[in-house]
Amino acid sequence: MERNMSDLDRLIRGVLIAPVAVALAWIVGWTTVAGIVLLVVAFVMLGTALLGFCPLYALLRIHTNARAQA
């Protein structure tokens, strides 16, 4: 798996989006449909941030990592 995400993209997903999604899930309730969807979104964002690889980016042939394009 080749990294297709920049460090900034990874930082935004891991430090901003994932915690906000968890906080919103807590606000709407862990066991509500919206809460579960938000927890899944947080898990996916954190996982892709840790791996540096986004399957959707690969499918659409998007690279936010400048080194991968060079």
Q: What is the mean pLDDT of the chain?
A: 92
Residue-range domain boundaries for the chain: 1-53
pLDDT at 2 over 90: no
Mean pLDDT of 42-55: 95
pTM of the model: 0.84
pLDDT tens sequence across 56-68: 999 999 888 876 5
SS3 content of the chain, % helix, strand, coil (to 5): 75, 0, 25
Rounded Cα gap, residues 57 and 62, in angstroms: 5
Q: Which of 35-39, 51-55, 59-63 has the highest mean pLDDT?
A: 35-39
